């Protein structure tokens, strides 16, 4: 038998396979059209889960927020009513997993919208207001400017926006208005045909910024949907909300009327993204359900941090209760003083059969069943009727051996902040979720989990926005 020399065997042996490098992050742009008055959705997939991409459109920075799947980031941009036509440069610096920078750029071609001219007849006081009315209108404009400057940075809506009423448009966005023969500012919203008294519904979840009569707009409601998105509903006959109210998608916020500068009953519906005046139907066009809702194929993963390999070390599990156990840890290793802390909570089924948990979807409401540094709060607002209708909770099935993973960044008092207290014990309890045992559905888990304290590391170094 011939024995090959060792050197020959080494040459003949196959080289060890190299792990394939992950693909570069991908940039995508979605819009109904690229013309004045349109909102744009910019999405990045395959990005680093913790390092957001950065981008600008014609030199204006975009603000990215995480999508429901790991490594997906989203941002809105607005083409104002008076934006110039022609090329618009979208420049981006994407982050591959691990932090490597990937440059990407696109040129959007903004075309002329061809806005029509409309001549209208209204009361002369709305064309040439007297001194008192003029001062009132100026004061209202200044007030609105201050309100828009205090909108929520976080996202308040869950998915797709709908039209507030089913009426057909009677006046188009961007119309160049001529009132009583005198040119005025272009129409910055859509007028929808409707009879007086028709209910006006919130197109998406949000918070009421304004519910007051204004000189030109009449009785007006303004909703803050977060991320710089606000919507306006003018010429109402009746308010059904007040400033500071939180509204759900489809909730009635007022009734159609004919107050303010009008030619008859209708709804004026307007959209702004930051300071850009936009056609609200450009937002309705976007399929935000597909972009923002967690994928049904993995209902147990509710955070982009779930399963990442570089999370802080996992603490011990709690003692099991009725087949479930839980643990919690911070979503990242170090927080700056005063920074909003996200705790990653995992609830695992160690029983012999599937467990069904009524999961509170809203993190601000979740302290009713999940206490952070304290016990859960009162259960009165989570009545069985609300739970059964799916208004506040959803039933999540946790199969044997599987884990439900989600983030919690709020306590009953507000955002969870990195302060002097750096260890947070949690309690997850649903034994009093229903007012009586007769309302409990078969198979639902009811119990209490005392979760070991989650240690949060707070940096002692000085911190400023420039150091982020």
pLDDT, mean over the chain: 81
Q: Tell me, what's the pLDDT at 382?
A: 46
Dihedral sign, Cα of residue 200, residue 156, residue 290, residue 95: positive
CB 321 within 8 A of CB 423: no
Which class is 117-289 in CATH? mainly beta
Compute the distance between CA of residue 35 and CA of residue 55 in angstroms, rounded to an integer. 20
Q: Tell me, what's the pLDDT at 119?
A: 54
CATH architecture for the domain at 324-467? Sandwich (2.60)
Does pTM surpass 0.85?
A: no
Q: What percent of the chain has pLDDT over 70?
A: 80
CB 69 within 8 A of CB 117: no
Cα radius of gyration (the chain): 27
pLDDT digits 0-9 by tens, 271-297: 999 989 999 989 988 989 878 876 556
Q: Tell me, what's the pLDDT at 134?
A: 75
Q: Give the confidence band of 330 by pLDDT, cuts at 50, 70, 90.
A: very high
pLDDT digits 0-9 by tens, 22-76: 678 889 999 988 999 999 999 998 898 889 999 999 999 999 999 887 789 999 9
Higher pLDDT, 421 or 202: 202
Domain 26-112 falls in which CATH fold? Immunoglobulin-like (2.60.40)
CB 466 within 8 A of CB 336: no
Residue 443 has pLDDT above 70, yes or no: no
- Give the pairing of strands 189-193 and 182-183: unpaired
Q: Tell me, what's the pLDDT at 445?
A: 87
CATH 2.70.70.10 placement within the chain: 117-289
CATH 2.60.40.1930 placement within the chain: 26-112
Residue 231 has pLDDT above 90, yes or no: yes
Residue 5 has pLDDT above 80, yes or no: no
Q: Tell me, what's the pLDDT at 127?
A: 54
Residue 103 has pLDDT above 80, yes or no: yes
CATH 2.60.40.10 placement within the chain: 324-467
How many CB atoms neighbour CB 315 within 10 A? Answer: 14
């Amino acid at each position: 038998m011939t024995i090959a020399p060792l050197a020959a065997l080494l040459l003949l042996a196959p080289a060890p396979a190299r792990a394939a490098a992950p693909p570069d992050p991908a940039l995508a742009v979605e819009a109904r059209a690229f013309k004045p008055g349109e909102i744009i959705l910019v999405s990045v997939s395959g990005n680093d889960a913790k390092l957001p991409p950065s981008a600008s459109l014609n030199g204006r920075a975009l603000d990215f927020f995480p999508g429901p799947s790991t490594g997906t980031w989203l941002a809105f941009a607005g083409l104002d009513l008076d934006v110039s036509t022609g090329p618009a440069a979208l420049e981006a610096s994407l982050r591959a997993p691990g932090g490597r920078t990937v440059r990407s750029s696109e040129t959007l071609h903004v075309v002329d919208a061809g806005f029509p001219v409309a001549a209208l007849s209204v009361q002369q006081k709305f064309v040439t207001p007297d001194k008192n009315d003029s001062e009132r209108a100026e004061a209202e404009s200044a007030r609105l400017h201050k309100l828009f400057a205090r909108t929520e940075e976080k996202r308040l809506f869950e998915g797709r926006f709908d039209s507030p009423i089913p009426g057909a448009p009677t006046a188009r966005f961007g119309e160049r208005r001529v009132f009583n023969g005198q040119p005025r500012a272009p129409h910055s919203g859509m007028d929808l045909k409707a009879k007086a008294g028709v209910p006006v519904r919130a197109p998406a979840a949000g918070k009421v910024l304004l519910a007051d009569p204004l000189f030109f707009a009449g009785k007006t409601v303004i909703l803050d949907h977060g991320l710089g998105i606000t919507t306006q509903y003018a010429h109402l006959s009746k308010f059904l909300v007040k400033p500071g109210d939180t509204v759900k998608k489809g909730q009635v916020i007022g009734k159609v009327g004919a107050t303010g500068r009008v030619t008859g009953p209708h709804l004026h519906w307007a959209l702004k993204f930051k300071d850009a005046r936009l056609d609200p139907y450009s937002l309705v066009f976007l399929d935000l359900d597909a972009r923002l809702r967690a994928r049904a194929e993995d209902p147990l993963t509710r955070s982009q941090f779930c399963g990442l390999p570089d999370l802080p070390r996992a603490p011990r599990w709690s003692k099991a209760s009725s087949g479930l156990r839980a643990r919690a840890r911070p979503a990242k290793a170090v927080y700056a003083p005063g920074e909003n802390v996200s705790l990653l909570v995992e609830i695992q089924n160690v029983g012999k059969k599937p467990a069904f948990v009524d999961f509170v979807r809203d993190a601000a409401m979740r302290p009713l069943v999940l206490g952070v540094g304290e016990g859960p709060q009162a259960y009165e607002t989570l009545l069985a009727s609300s739970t059964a209708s799916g208004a506040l909770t959803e039933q999540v099935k946790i199969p044997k051996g599987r884990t439900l993973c989600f983030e919690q960044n709020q306590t009953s008092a507000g955002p969870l902040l990195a302060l002097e207290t750096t260890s947070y014990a949690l309690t997850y309890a649903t034994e009093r979720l229903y007012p009586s045992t007769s309302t409990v559905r078969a198979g639902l888990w009811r119990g209490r989990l005392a979760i070991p304290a989650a240690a949060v590391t707070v940096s002692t170094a000085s911190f400023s926005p420039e150091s982020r």
